[in-house]
Structure formats: structure tokens, C-alpha cells
């Protein structure tokens, strides 16, 4: 039995001796380089060693972990290292043994334990700062994701499982999960302040226990296996050779022992690399030779080895001479771990764009004239054409003008839409297009947009009443803004739909979402031209539209309890939802564009609050503002768009109306009676 001492080396002395700078009797000495300190010479006995690093002294009867590691060194590592040092330049080395040695040395090193400590400390510190920024915390906790695998969704499912809802049907269970998640989204900003002290206390406790936790985890992993088989198998696919280097003059030994690169060529400590990414591994075996594993047929470039060894070191590296050029490399110690931690923070704790007011594009204008035509029953007016083209040139970009097939001025907008599609319009469709509309046209190349404007509105452009003429111009701006949104929708959202089959419920909510998102964007675009007086004057109209919509939905709910016809119910509710969401979305867009908060004391705000939807409105406004940023700066994912469409269901819950899909692929409606409605509304207001 080997009886190991208490000073235990996490980098074997046999490897350290290959970087000998001098010798004192039988003791080899190396030069130790640390960041911010002068290099010093030390015997290998005192380098890369720590008291009881692996285990305290044993009882002499059973092996300690350090005994097991010492035996591995003498039986496997030392003979391999001797053979590798004796190999000629470029000689092929046994891949099995080379992979085993590299995996063992990197996993056992203090570098791994220290790196995880630094990463964890930075993540904890940054998470602590995230607590002060609710948007970041929302992102980290995946509060606004409707992904079934999100943190919040997973926790809700776990909680419901613990409650033991064995008698609940799958449909009801799905609704409960959706209800809990949406309500959590609405209440999050109100609940967070009370949770922050507790979270900070827990973070402090984690931070204090971190060193002991990491040490225990490291030792348990080593006790389980000194060599991880999956990592060895990944490295065995490389070809391994010993390379003699002339430049640099002498190699350094990093405290991570080996470094690795992926296809990008960026070097990191091998132990911090994913096996699938690795294309190159380099481990110095003495001051003149390096063990290299690589996938290519040609030897990789070795010119920057020392710089990479320094960068990948955590606390120190070892050399065979006090070289000023080498000493200069000490400033790079720790850079690789910092890069890795920065990447983790960027991925996991990165701040999302907050629900801020988006900035309007400066100088957005078109040099192209949009095509304006008049329906056959409408008198052509050159002054009207110029007025429309002027507004379009000020508001639309060239690409948006290119997407517009034409702007059609018509006395009978529903009639023009019906002729365009070759069929009569439903009552809902007639209502929806009467104030003016933007229709998407399929073409052999790319979809085009047709804007149809009521002629009677355009007649007001030239009246003496400035309020009326400004209102008419604003209507044109709103329609053009909707066209601009559909241009973005076709370019950035539709590609996410390719190959996706939607359920009837998804189609219903997404269709409404497309419309109200276009109203939101259009109001935001038109906002700079809208005067504050227009906003004040529009409050009664918005409030009236909302109250009528709410009353219509409530009436449809009561009537359904008598007739029980789903199609009739949907036909009654859809126009009201369209008005409700279109009005509120436009109201939110106008306030975002004017840098205004929505007030609960305004007529519109009071109307929504009276329906117990104020908390929902705050969340809806937040989601809309984020969507404005996303669709202008990036491509919103399908999950993001579906999350916004889910607001349709949330509002219907307020009236006891629940949407679902039948097994036959149809949209189904369940409506609560008065007693259940009281319970549901209590949940939604708690």
C-alpha cells in the first residue's frame, strides 16, 4: 500500500520536473508566474500542492483518494509521460492512453474546482444585481414564456402534482396550468418586492457554502471515477502526436494542464470544453515538447501556444526560465474563464430589452411614390392623390412602399373587398373593413398589400375645420402604419410558421393577434403627428368602444347558456373581441409613441379597471411595447407571438369563456354559469 503525505499535488511532480529551471541536490526547481506578482523560483515539492487536497491521512488499512491517485500516477501516468518525452518529433502516440491521461490530469486539478467557484460566484453576483432589474428577473425566470418546459411552467406543474388533482380532466388540468401561469405574469411585478429579501438571503447562504459544496462535489466525482469514460471516448477519435517546438523558446505549463479548441480556433481550458466541440487538444509535457491531439490531417499552428497557456491558466503557470516576455503574459491569466463566465451571464442572465418606449426611426421616408387609384364609382381627385402620396412618403420606407400594391379610394369599402375575393363578406368581415382596411394579396413572387380607404374620410382632408382634416390624415397614417406592420409580419413572423400546423384555437387567437398588433404598431407610427388634444378628445370614443365590446361579450355569454351553439357564440364574440383588442392595442401604441404612461384615471383606463382588467392591461401594454422593439430589431419567435395571442384567452376568462380544441380539430367553447363565474373572477383578481 502507498501511504501518501498530507501535501498533495494536483499537478504531478513528475510533470512539473519537465519544466526544471534549476536543481538543488535532488530537488528540481521551476519558475512560478502569477498575475500581478513577480515570478519566483520554487521546488516542485511546493508547487501545485495543497494540504489534504484530496483526502486526510488514512488509517493504513484502506486506500484514501490520494492513495488511489498516487497509484494511478505510478502505474499509468508516469510510464506514459516517460515514453512521450522520449518520442521523436511528430511521433504518433497511443490514443487510448493519451486520452486517459489528459482527462485524468485536467479533471483532478485545482483549476477545475477554482474555475467552477469563480463561475458560480460571478453568476451569484450577477443574479444579485438582476434582482434590482425586474425585466432581467422576468427573463431569467422565464415568466413570459408559454413554453411548457419553462422554469415557471415546470414549477406550476410540480405544484399541481403535489396538490394531487387526480379527478381533474386533462382539459381542466391544462386550463389550470395556463391560468396559473398567466396570473403569475400579471402579478409578478407586485409580488417580486416581497420576495427579493428572501432570495438575497438564500443567495448569501449559497455563496457562503460554495467552497465546501464544490470541494465535496469534486471529490465525489473523483471517487466515482478518476477517468470519465465518455470524455476519454471523445478524445480517442483524435490522432495524438508529440511535437517538438522551436518557437517559443520554452513552453509553459498552465495550471489547467491542457487546453482545447473548437472549429473557431478559440482556446479554452480542456476541462471547460464540451466533448462535441473539440478539434484540438494541447498539453505540454516538458519545456520543449507538447502532446497534441487533433482531427485534421495537417499539424495545427503552434505559434501562440504560450499565450494560450497563459490565458487558460486560472491562478498561475510554470516555466523553466525567468523570461521578461513570459512575465508579460501573466496579465492574461484568467481571461479564458472570464470569457466563459461572460458567455454564461450573457446567455442566462442577459437583460432583455425592457418594456420601454421604442424610439421612432429618424429620417424614415420613401423616395418612391405609392400608387393611388379610385374605384369605378368614386370620382378621381388629383389633390387627394398628392395628399395620400405625401403622407406615405413621410411615413413609409421604400421597402414598405414596394410591398403596397396600391392604395384604393372607394365609396364602398366592403363591396371592393368582396369583389377582390370573389365572394360575399360575412357580417363580421363587413364590419371589420368598413373604416378602411389593409388586405394581403397572394402573388407568384411575394405577397403584396392593398390599402382601401373610404372616400368620405378623404374628403375631410381639405375641409376648413383643422380638427377634422387632421383626423382624416391620421386615419390615412393608421392604415399605412398597419400596412407597414404587415410588411414586417410577412418578412419576420410568417417564416416561423412554415411547416407548422396550428390548432383551431391557435388560428383563432393568432388571427385576432395579427389584427390588434397591426393596430398597435400603426398607432405607434402615427403618434408623432397626433396632438395631445387628439388623445384627450379620443378618450370618450375609446371608452365607449370598450364598454360596448364588454357588454356584447357578456350578452353573448348569457345567450350561450340558453342556445348552447358554439358557432353562434363565436360569431357573436369575434367582432366584439376585434373591437376590444383593436381599440386597446391602438390606445397602448399611441401612448408608447407619445412617451406616455396609461393612467387609471383616464376615461379609457377607468373603463378597463371597472371590468377588473387593469392588471391585465399593464401586462398587455408591456408585451406590446416589447413586441414593438422585437419586430423592428429582430424576428419575434413563434413562441413570442403565441404568448401575445394568448391575451385573447385571458380576456375571455374574465367572462367565464374558455376556448379549447376538440379531437376533431374544431374550436370549442365552455361557458361558466353565474356561480362558477364568481369563483373564476375571484381567482383572476386574487
Q: Are 651 and 624 in contact (CB under 8 A)?
A: no
Query: Are 419 and 504 part of one and the same domain?
Result: no
More confident residue, 55 or 153: 55
Q: Which three cell numbers stand for residue 317?
A: 503557470
Q: Are 518 and 451 in contact (CB under 8 A)?
A: no
Give me the torsion for CA of 123, 127, 130, 136, rounded to 10°: 70
Q: Is the residue at 462 inside a domain?
A: yes
CB proximity list for 227: less than 8 A, separation 6 or greater: 100, 103, 104, 107
Query: Are 567 and 470 part of one and the same domain?
Result: no
Lowest mean pLDDT segment, chosen from 78-87, 156-165, 587-596, 659-668? 156-165
CA distance 530 to 543: 18
Give me the torsion for CA of 14, 18, 24, 25, rounded to 10°: 50
Q: Tell me how many domains the chain contains.
A: 3
Question: 208-217, 262-271, 645-654: which has the highest mean pLDDT?
Answer: 645-654
- Tell me what pLDDT residue 497 has: 85
- The CA R_g of the chain, rounded to the nearest whole Å, is 34
- Structure letter (DSSP) for residue 409: E
Phi and psi at 17, nearest 5°, equal -65, -20
Lowest mean pLDDT segment, chosen from 100-104, 132-136, 176-180, 551-555? 132-136
Q: Are 69 and 5 in contact (CB under 8 A)?
A: no
CB proximity list for 169: less than 8 A, separation 6 or greater: none
Region 108-122: mean pLDDT is 85
Q: Are 35 and 334 in contact (CB under 8 A)?
A: yes
- Tell me what pLDDT residue 131 has: 61
Percent above pLDDT 90 for the chain = 57
Q: Which three cell numbers stand for residue 600?
A: 387609471
Query: Are 570 and 468 part of one and the same domain?
Result: no
Q: Which three cell numbers stand for residue 291?
A: 502532446
Query: Are 254 and 397 part of one and the same domain?
Result: no
Q: Which three cell numbers stand for residue 51?
A: 494540504
Does 345 score more than 70 pLDDT? no
Q: Is the residue at 23 inside a domain?
A: no
Last residue of a domain, one of 308, 323, 352: 352
In three-state secondary structure terms, 371 is coil
Nearest Cα neighbor of 15 from 67, 107, 77 is 77
- Tell me what pLDDT residue 354 has: 39
In a 13 Å sphere around the CA of 454, the CA atoms on its Cβ side amount to 12
Region 173-197: mean pLDDT is 80
Give me the torsion for CA of 70, 228, 119, 144, rounded to 10°: -160
**Which residues form the domain of 615?**
500-686
How many other C-beta atoms are found inside a 10 Å radius of the C-beta of residue 67? 18
- Tell me what pLDDT residue 199 has: 65
Q: Which three cell numbers stand for residue 216?
A: 465535496
Nearest Cα neighbor of 140 from 416, 131, 296, 302 is 131
Q: Is the residue at 19 inside a domain?
A: no
Query: Are 530 and 462 part of one and the same domain?
Result: no
Q: Is the residue at 419 inside a domain?
A: yes
CA distance 500 to 325: 59
Does 240 score more than 50 pLDDT? yes
- Tell me what pLDDT residue 104 has: 95
Region 68-92: mean pLDDT is 95
- Tell me what pLDDT residue 1 has: 43
Query: Are 131 and 279 part of one and the same domain?
Result: yes
What is the H or E stretch that residue 280 is in? strand 280-284
Q: Is the residue at 120 inside a domain?
A: yes
Give Dmax over CA atoms of the chain in angstroms. 110
How many other C-beta atoms are found inside a 10 Å radius of the C-beta of residue 377? 11
Residue 487 burial (CB < 10 Å; 0-12/13-18/19+)? buried
Region 667-686: mean pLDDT is 90
Does 444 score more than 80 pLDDT? yes
- pLDDT category at 477 given cuts 50, 70, 90 is very high
Does 538 score more than 80 pLDDT? yes
Q: Which three cell numbers stand for residue 278?
A: 473539440
What is the H or E stretch that residue 448 is in? strand 448-454
CA distance 69 to 9: 10
Question: Cis peptide leading into 174, omega within 30 of 0?
Answer: no
Q: Which three cell numbers stand for residue 616?
A: 391585465
Region 626-641: mean pLDDT is 85
Q: Are 33 and 319 in contact (CB under 8 A)?
A: yes
Phi and psi at 317, nearest 5°, equal -140, 165
Nearest Cα neighbor of 48 from 222, 253, 250 is 253
Lowest mean pLDDT segment, chosen from 282-286, 499-503, 509-513, 603-607? 499-503
Q: Which three cell numbers stand for residue 426?
A: 360575412
- pLDDT category at 270 given cuts 50, 70, 90 is very high
Q: Is the residue at 626 inside a domain?
A: yes
Q: Per residue in 300-310, pLDDT tens?
A: 777 789 999 99
Region 607-612: mean pLDDT is 94
Whole-prediction pTM value? 0.64
Q: Per residue in 558-569, pLDDT tens?
A: 999 999 999 999
Q: Are 512 and 645 in contact (CB under 8 A)?
A: yes
The whole-chain average pLDDT of the chain stands at 88
Last residue of a domain, one of 352, 377, 399: 352
More confident residue, 244 or 169: 244
How many other C-beta atoms are found inside a 10 Å radius of the C-beta of residue 548? 14
- pLDDT category at 362 given cuts 50, 70, 90 is very low
Nearest Cα neighbor of 180 from 200, 202, 150 is 150
Query: Are 196 and 314 part of one and the same domain?
Result: yes
Nearest Cα neighbor of 586 from 650, 541, 553 is 541
- Tell me what pLDDT residue 127 has: 62
CB proximity list for 247: less than 8 A, separation 6 or greater: 303
Nearest Cα neighbor of 313 from 276, 356, 267 is 267
Query: Are 455 and 594 part of one and the same domain?
Result: no
Query: Are 481 and 531 part of one and the same domain?
Result: no
Q: Which three cell numbers stand for residue 72?
A: 494511478
Does 2 score more than 60 pLDDT? no
Query: Are 469 and 571 part of one and the same domain?
Result: no
Q: Per residue in 450-474, pLDDT tens?
A: 999 999 988 888 888 888 888 899 9
In three-state secondary structure terms, 63 is coil
- pLDDT category at 578 given cuts 50, 70, 90 is very high
Q: Is the residue at 145 inside a domain?
A: yes
SS3 string of 621-666?
HHHHHHHHHHHHHCCCCHHHHHHHHHHHHHHHHCCCEEEEECCCCC
What is the H or E stretch that residue 42 is in? strand 40-43
- Tell me what pLDDT residue 355 has: 44
Does 508 score more than 70 pLDDT? yes
Q: Which three cell numbers stand for residue 226?
A: 478518476
Does 31 score more than 90 pLDDT? yes
Q: Is the residue at 542 inside a domain?
A: yes
Q: Are 286 and 216 in contact (CB under 8 A)?
A: no
Last residue of a domain, one of 486, 514, 542: 486
Query: Are 441 and 341 part of one and the same domain?
Result: no
> What is the sign, positive or negative, of the torsion defined by CA atoms of 314, 315, 318, 319?
positive
- Structure letter (DSSP) for residue 271: G
Nearest Cα neighbor of 593 from 487, 446, 474, 451 is 474
Give the position of cell 503552434.
302
CB proximity list for 474: less than 8 A, separation 6 or greater: 526, 529, 530, 534
CA distance 65 to 73: 13
In three-state secondary structure terms, 258 is coil
Query: Are 408 and 332 part of one and the same domain?
Result: no
Amino acid at each position: 500500500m502507498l501511504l501518501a503525505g498530507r501535501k498533495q499535488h494536483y499537478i504531478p511532480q513528475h510533470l512539473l520536473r519537465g519544466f526544471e529551471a534549476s536543481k538543488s541536490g535532488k530537488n528540481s526547481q521551476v519558475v512560478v508566474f502569477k498575475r500581478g506578482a513577480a515570478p519566483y523560483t520554487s521546488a516542485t515539492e511546493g508547487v501545485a500542492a495543497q494540504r489534504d487536497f484530496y483526502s486526510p491521512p488514512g488509517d493504513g488499512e484502506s486506500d484514501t483518494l490520494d492513495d488511489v491517485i498516487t497509484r494511478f500516477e505510478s502505474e499509468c501516468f508516469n510510464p506514459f509521460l516517460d515514453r512521450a518525452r522520449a518520442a521523436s518529433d511528430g511521433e504518433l502516440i497511443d490514443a487510448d492512453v493519451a486520452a486517459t491521461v489528459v482527462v485524468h490530469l485536467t479533471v483532478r486539478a485545482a483549476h477545475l474546482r477554482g474555475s467552477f467557484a469563480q463561475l458560480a460566484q460571478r453568476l451569484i453576483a450577477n443574479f444579485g444585481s438582476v434582482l434590482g432589474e425586474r425585466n432581467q428577473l422576468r427573463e431569467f425566470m422565464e415568466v413570459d414564456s408559454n413554453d411548457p418546459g419553462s422554469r415557471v411552467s415546470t414549477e406550476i406543474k410540480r405544484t399541481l402534482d403535489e396538490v394531487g388533482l387526480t379527478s381533474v380532466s386533462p382539459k381542466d388540468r391544462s386550463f389550470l396550468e395556463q391560468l396559473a401561469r398567466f396570473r403569475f405574469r400579471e402579478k409578478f411585478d407586485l409580488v417580486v418586492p416581497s420576495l427579493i429579501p428572501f432570495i438575497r438571503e438564500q443567495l448569501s447562504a449559497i455563496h457562503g457554502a460554495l467552497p465546501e459544496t464544490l470541494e465535496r462535489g469534486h471529490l465525489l466525482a473523483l471517487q466515482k471515477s478518476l477517468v470519465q469514460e465518455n470524455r476519454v471516448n471523445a478524445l480517442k477519435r483524435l490522432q495524438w502526436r508529440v511535437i517538438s517546438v522551436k518557437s517559443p523558446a520554452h513552453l509553459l505549463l498552465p495550471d489547467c494542464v491542457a487546453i482545447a479548441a473548437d472549429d473557431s480556433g478559440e482556446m479554452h481550458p480542456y476541462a471547460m470544453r464540451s466533448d462535441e466541440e473539440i478539434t484540438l487538444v494541447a498539453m505540454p509535457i516538458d519545456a520543449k515538447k507538447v502532446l497534441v491531439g487533433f482531427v485534421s490531417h495537417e499539424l495545427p499552428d503552434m505559434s501562440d501556444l504560450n499565450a494560450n497557456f497563459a490565458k487558460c491558466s486560472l491562478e498561475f503557470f510554470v516555466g523553466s526560465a525567468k523570461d521578461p516576455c513570459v512575465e508579460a503574459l501573466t496579465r492574461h491569466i484568467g481571461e479564458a474563464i472570464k470569457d466563459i463566465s461572460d458567455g454564461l451571464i450573457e446567455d442566462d442572465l442577459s437583460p432583455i430589452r425592457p418594456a420601454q418606449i421604442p424610439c421612432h426611426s429618424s429620417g424614415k421616408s420613401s423616395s418612391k411614390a405609392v400608387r393611388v387609384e379610385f374605384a369605378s364609382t368614386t370620382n378621381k381627385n388629383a389633390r387627394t392623390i398628392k395628399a395620400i402620396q405625401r403622407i406615405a412618403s413621410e411615413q413609409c420606407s421604400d421597402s414598405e412602399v414596394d410591398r403596397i400594391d396600391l392604395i384604393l379610394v372607394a365609396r364602398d369599402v366592403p363591396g371592393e373587398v368582396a369583389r377582390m375575393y370573389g365572394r360575399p363578406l360575412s357580417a363580421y368581415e363587413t364590419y371589420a373593413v368598413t373604416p378602411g382596411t389593409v388586405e394581403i394579396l397572394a402573388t407568384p413572387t411575394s405577397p403584396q398589400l392593398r390599402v382601401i380607404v373610404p372616400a368620405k374620410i378623404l374628403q375631410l382632408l381639405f375641409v376648413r375645420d383643422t380638427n377634422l382634416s387632421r383626423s382624416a390624415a391620421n386615419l390615412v397614417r393608421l392604415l399605412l402604419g398597419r400596412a407597414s406592420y404587415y410588411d414586417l409580419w410577412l418578412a419576420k413572423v410568417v417564416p416561423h410558421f412554415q411547416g407548422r400546423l396550428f390548432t383551431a384555437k391557435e388560428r383563432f387567437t393568432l388571427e385576432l393577434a395579427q389584427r390588434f398588433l397591426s393596430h398597435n404598431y400603426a398607432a405607434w407610427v402615427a403618434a408623432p403627428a397626433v396632438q395631445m388634444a387628439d388623445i384627450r378628445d379620443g378618450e370618450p370614443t375609446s371608452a365607449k368602444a370598450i364598454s360596448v365590446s364588454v357588454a356584447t361579450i357578456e350578452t353573448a355569454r348569457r345567450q350561450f347558456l340558453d342556445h348552447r351553439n358554439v358557432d353562434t357564440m363565436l360569431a357573436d364574440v369575434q367582432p366584439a373581441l376585434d373591437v376590444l383588442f383593436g381599440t386597446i392595442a391602438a390606445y397602448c401604441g399611441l401612448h408608447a409613441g407619445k412617451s406616455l404612461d396609461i393612467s387609471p384615471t383616464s376615461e379609457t383606463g377607468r373603463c378597463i379597471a371597472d371590468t377588473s382588467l387593469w392588471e391585465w392591461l399593464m401586462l398587455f401594454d408591456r408585451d406590446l411595447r416589447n413586441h414593438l422593439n422585437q419586430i423592428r430589431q429582430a424576428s419575434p419567435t413563434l413562441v413570442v407571438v403565441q404568448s401575445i395571442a394568448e391575451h385573447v384567452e385571458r380576456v375571455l376568462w374574465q367572462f367565464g369563456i374558455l376556448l379549447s380544441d376538440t379531437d376533431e380539430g374544431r374550436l370549442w367553447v365552455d361557458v361558466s354559469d353565474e356561480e362558477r363565474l364568481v369563483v373564476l373572477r375571484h381567482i383572476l383578481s386574487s
